[in-house]
Each structure stands twice: as C-alpha cells, then as structure tokens.
C-alpha cells in the first residue's frame, strides 16, 4: 500500500462510522487539483537543468489550501497527495479555517549551490503564481526547505503579481513577517496535548520516562519542553543512532553533543542504542519525531511505552494500530499531536493580514487553548464511540469538512 492508499483506507473506515455516502467518500478520495510544471534553472557552470515542480490542492472547503513545499529527489506524488489530504484533516482537527495542500520540486538540494537553490525557489513561485496566494493557497517549509527559501518565494511572488502580500506564504523569517514561536510550535502543541492526556490518566509527569526518536526541530524542542515540565528524558536518537540512560539525559547536552560530534549517540551519555531499539526501550512515553512508517506489524508488539506522541507525520503503519490498541497504548495521532505547527502558521497568516504582530506570549496563549480544546473533542469522541484517538480525530475532522461541503452544496 502506498501512503495515499493508506490515507484512503483510513478515510473509508472513518467514513463508514459516520455514515458518509459513496459520492462524498469519492470526493474526499481525490485532490481538487494537481498542478504540474517544469522549471528551468541556470547552474553555476552555465548549463541549464529542468526539474518537475508541483502542487497538490486537496480540499479547500474550510478555507484556502495550506501545506508545505519539499525539495526532494524522491518527492513521490502518492506521498504528496497523502500529505495534502492529511493537512486538510489536521486543519479541521484543530478547527482552523484552512484546507489542505502540499507541493514540491523533484531535486536534490544537497547537490545544488545556495544560488541554485534560490533559483529553484524563485522559479517555483513564478510557475505557481496564478495558483497560490493569501486567499487561495498558502505554502510553508517542509523537507529541505526553510525560512530563507520562503523569503525568496515571497519576494518572487510579490514581483510577479506586483503587490505586497506577505500572507501568501508562512514559515518566513521573523524580519519578513514570520511569527514568534513558530520554531517550537510543533513540539509545544504536542506537549499541550500530551499534558492533557497525562492529566486525564491521573499520572504525574515526574514519574514518566520519555524516549524521543529524531532530534531535529520537533524532537529537540519536545525533549526541552518536557524536561522543563518535570518529565525524565531517558532516550534520544538521530539518523546516526541513539543513546539510553535510565538516570535521565539533559536535552541541552544532547543538542550540544549532536552539534559538536554529529550525533546524540557520540557523547558517552549512556548506552548506545539503535533507532529500532529506541522504539522498544523501557519508557512510558514514546515520541517518534523523525520519519514515517517506524512502528509496524513487526515491532509494534514490543513497544513498552503506554503513550505514543506522534510528532512525525505517519510514524505508525496502519497494520500497527490494532496491535497498539490491543496493548492499551494511547496513541496521540499525528493529525492532532503535531498540529501546533500549522496552527502557528495560521497565526502568522492572521498577523500578516492584520499587519499587526504578536509577542511569543500572545502566540502561546492562543495556541494552548486550541490544542487543549482539540484534544478534549477527540478524547470525548473516542470515549463515547469506543474508538482509538486516531479514529476519533479523523471522524472529528471529516465531520467538520463534510458539514461545510454540504453547506456549500457540494
Ligand atoms: P528535522 O529535519 O529538523 O529533524 C529530523 C531528525 O530526524 C534529525 O535529527 C535527523 O537526524 C533524524 N533522523 C533522520 N533519519 C532518522 C532515522 N532513520 N532514525 C532516527 N532519526 C532520524 O525535521 P523536523 O522538522 O523535526 O520533522 C520531524 C518530523 O516531524 C517529520 O516527520 C515532519 O514531517 C514532522 N513534522 C514537523 C513539523 C515542524 O514544524 N517541524 C510539523 C509537523 C510535522
């Protein structure tokens, strides 16, 4: 099953539970638009190369399409379609007025100079200028794209359309209209959701051991925020391996070790473990914050954690879900757990439209109630209907999307 087929499977199961008809399921099983272009850039050596560029606009019933742009040599259309669909679900789970989209360029940025990457960014923005915009489709960073690339895209788009429109893209540098708090937003949103569950379960953070797979933006900030809230970080990993220490690890020391020695596993901070070991290590909370498809049929039964906080997109394969459910593991699903990122992107868009900028405190004071309210709605649905949190999140989101589609007469 490819990632889009997995989305359709989850959609159909959720749709059955809320009695959606076949026409609506069919409508939610295909994107509204797939835009494909070829872009050319001049290489530093004088040659010209072409890349495939695309944007998938999945559903905009609740508001403009929203989602990242990736620069990746294997940017697969099934993945992009699935990620675009999941953006629509994610925005609906947290109740922000945006739809779902995703895009990219099939290129290897590791083989391009900074000047060549700038050309890719500018060409993408020019090629898509008629299809994106503050009220139409709002891109953001994703794999191998960053605030600087968003800045090039904003600049090129504004030159092409001939007006200032900072809200056409999010994840910008702060000096160019980015939002305070965007850096840690994904982890912060996940922490609010996790804290809500921990409270419901009557557990004490200081009794809970945390293992984090992936020590990048999402993983590092999650470890940092949870450590500050009294949780014990016992394991962390990155692409080169991991470290386990039952006495606890300091997130800042892990970060420094990764910076100076290339990996959290290199600082003699505990026992060296593999990424596979990390998933099944002795802990209470497991946070996959790296890649998709990490918890599968072959390893799910060995997970020891009682809570999984999915900061990565799609870390749990569909076949693993029933195994985790059987083991009574609470899985806080990606569409809820990592939705703090898109929520602060929404705040950035709002600030750009108002031309009035908020402090970090403003951002957090608006993020917390959104995440907690979204958790409550999903948790209640899961309890009332005996569903997993993932099923409940999908149903909550689909009901909201379908309601507006029906109001629009679709
Ligand atoms: P990042 O590039 O900052 O960090 C990724 C980390 O994963 C790095 O530490 C890398 O070493 C590690 N990694 C790579 N391969 C690995 C492997 N095989 N095993 C273990 N670790 C590995 O990325 P990020 O922004 O933190 O994103 C991580 C995940 O969170 C992705 O799935 C992303 O889609 C998801 N996510 C991120 C955001 C966000 O705002 N950053 C928002 C929503 C979802």
Cα 23–Cα 24–Cα 30 angle in degrees, nearest 5: 95
* 170/209 same-domain check: no
Average pLDDT of the residues in 145-161: 98
Which residue has a Cα nearest atom 1 of ligand 1?
216
Report CA(99)–ligand 1 centroid distance (Å). 23
* 195/169 same-domain check: no
Max Cα–Cα distance, the chain, nearest Å: 64
Report CA(141)–ligand 1 centroid distance (Å). 13
Q: Is residue 158 part of a domain?
A: yes
Which residue has a Cα nearest atom 32 of ligand 1?
312
Average pLDDT of the residues in 18-46: 96
- The per-residue pLDDT for 76 is 78
Q: Say yes or no: CB of residue 238 within 6 Å of ligand 1.
A: yes
- The per-residue pLDDT for 396 is 97
* 201/333 same-domain check: yes
* 324/301 same-domain check: yes
- The per-residue pLDDT for 77 is 84
Average pLDDT of the residues in 272-286: 97
- Which tokens belong to 165? 């429109």
- Which tokens belong to 93? 């789970």
* 73/199 same-domain check: no
Domain range enclosing 159: 3-9+22-176
Q: Is residue 82 part of a domain?
A: yes
- The per-residue pLDDT for 27 is 94
- The per-residue pLDDT for 141 is 94
List, by residue number, the catalytic residues: 102
Which residue has a Cα nearest atom 2 of ligand 1?
216
The domain tally of the chain equals 2
- Which tokens belong to 347? 């705040």
Q: Is residue 302 part of a domain?
A: yes
Ligand 1 atom closest to the Cα of residue 291 is 32
CATH code assigned at 165: 3.40.50.10860
Ligand 1 atom closest to the Cα of residue 240 is 11
Q: What confidence tier does 177 reach under pLDDT thresholds 50, 70, 90?
A: very high
* 214/73 same-domain check: no
Q: What confidence tier does 143 reach under pLDDT thresholds 50, 70, 90?
A: confident
* 170/196 same-domain check: no
Average pLDDT of the residues in 218-224: 98
pLDDT digit string (tens) for 47-94? 999 999 999 999 999 999 999 999 999 877 888 999 999 999 999 999
Average pLDDT of the residues in 353-359: 98
Q: Say yes or no: CB of residue 342 within 6 Å of ligand 1.
A: no
Q: Say yes or no: CB of residue 351 within 6 Å of ligand 1.
A: no
* 33/71 same-domain check: yes
Which residue has a Cα nearest atom 3 of ligand 1?
216
> pTM of the entire structure?
0.96
- The per-residue pLDDT for 252 is 98
Report CA(149)–ligand 1 centroid distance (Å). 18
Q: Is residue 388 part of a domain?
A: no
* 315/265 same-domain check: yes
Name the pairing type of β-strands 271-273 and 100-105: unpaired
- The per-residue pLDDT for 402 is 97
Average pLDDT of the residues in 293-314: 96
At 271, give phi and psi (nearest 5°): -75, 135
d(C-alpha 107, C-alpha 174), whole Å:
27
- Among 70-74, 158-162, 351-355, 363-367, where is mean pLDDT lowest? 70-74
* 128/208 same-domain check: no
- The per-residue pLDDT for 6 is 87
Report CA(218)–ligand 1 centroid distance (Å). 6
Q: What confidence tier does 97 reach under pLDDT thresholds 50, 70, 90?
A: very high
* 47/162 same-domain check: yes
- The per-residue pLDDT for 1 is 77
d(C-alpha 334, C-alpha 218), whole Å:
12
Ligand 1 atom closest to the Cα of residue 314 is 32
* 215/79 same-domain check: no
Between 206 and 5, the higher pLDDT residue: 206
CATH code assigned at 329: 3.40.50.720
Q: Say yes or no: CB of residue 291 within 6 Å of ligand 1.
A: yes
Q: Is residue 342 part of a domain?
A: no
| 171 in Cβ contact with 334 (< 8 Å) | no
Assess whether pLDDT exceeds 90 at residue 398. Answer: yes
Segment (H or E) for 79 = helix 77-93
- The per-residue pLDDT for 210 is 98
Sheet with 65-71: list strands edge to edge: 33-42, 48-59, 100-105, 65-71, 137-141
Using the 3D structure, point to which of 337, 358, 388 is the last residue of a domain: 337
Report CA(163)–ligand 1 centroid distance (Å). 35
Q: Say yes or no: CB of residue 10 within 6 Å of ligand 1.
A: no
Cα of 272 vs its chain's centroid, Å: 28
Using the 3D structure, point to which of 176, 199, 229 is the last residue of a domain: 176
Which residue has a Cα nearest atom 16 of ligand 1?
239
């Amino acid at each position: 099953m490819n990632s889009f087929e997995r989305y359709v499977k989850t959609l159909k199961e959720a749709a059955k539970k809320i009695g959606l008809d076949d026409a609506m399921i069919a409508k939610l099983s295909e994107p509204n638009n797939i835009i494909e272009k070829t872009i050319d850039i001049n290489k530093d050596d004088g040659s010209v190369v072409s890349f495939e560029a695309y944007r998938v606009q999945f559903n905009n019933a609740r508001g403009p399409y929203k989602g990242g742009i990736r620069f990746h040599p294997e940017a697969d259309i099934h993945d992009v379609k699935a990620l675009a669909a999941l953006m629509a679900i994610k925005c609906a789970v947290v109740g922000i007025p945006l739809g779902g989209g995703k895009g990219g360029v099939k290129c290897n940025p590791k083989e391009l100079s900074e000047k060549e990457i700038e050309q890719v960014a500018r060409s993408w923005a020019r090629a898509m200028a008629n299809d994106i915009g503050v009220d139409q489709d709002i891109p953001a960073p994703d794999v191998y794209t960053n605030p600087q690339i968003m800045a090039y895209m904003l600049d090129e788009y504004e030159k092409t359309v001939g007006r200032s429109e900072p809200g056409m893209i999010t994840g910008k540098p702060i000096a160019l209209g980015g939002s305070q708090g965007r850096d840690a937003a994904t982890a912060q949103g996940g922490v609010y959701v996790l804290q809500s569950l921990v409270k419901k379960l009557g557990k004490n953070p200081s009794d809970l051991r945390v293992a984090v797979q992936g020590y990048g933006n999402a993983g590092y900030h999650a470890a940092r925020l949870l450590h500050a809230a009294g949780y014990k970080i016992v394991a962390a990993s990155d692409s080169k391996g991991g470290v386990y220490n039952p006495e606890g690890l300091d997130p800042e020391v892990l970060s420094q070790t990764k910076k100076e020695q290339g990996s959290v596993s290199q600082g003699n901070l505990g026992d060296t473990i593999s990424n596979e070991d990390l998933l099944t290590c002795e802990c209470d909370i497991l946070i996959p914050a790296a890649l998709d498809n990490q918890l599968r049929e072959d390893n799910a039964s060995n997970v020891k954690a009682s809570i999984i906080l999915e900061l990565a997109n799609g870390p749990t394969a569909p076949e693993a879900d029933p195994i985790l459910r059987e083991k009574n593991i609470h899985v806080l699903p990606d569409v809820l757990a990592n939705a703090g990122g898109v929520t602060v992107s929404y705040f950035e868009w709002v600030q750009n439209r108002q031309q009035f900028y908020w402090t970090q405190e403003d951002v957090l004071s608006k993020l917390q109630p959104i995440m907690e309210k979204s958790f409550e709605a999903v948790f209640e649905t899961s309890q009332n209907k005996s569903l997993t949190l993932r099923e409940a999140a999908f149903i909550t989101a689909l009901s909201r999307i379908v309601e507006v589609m029906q109001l629009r007469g679709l």
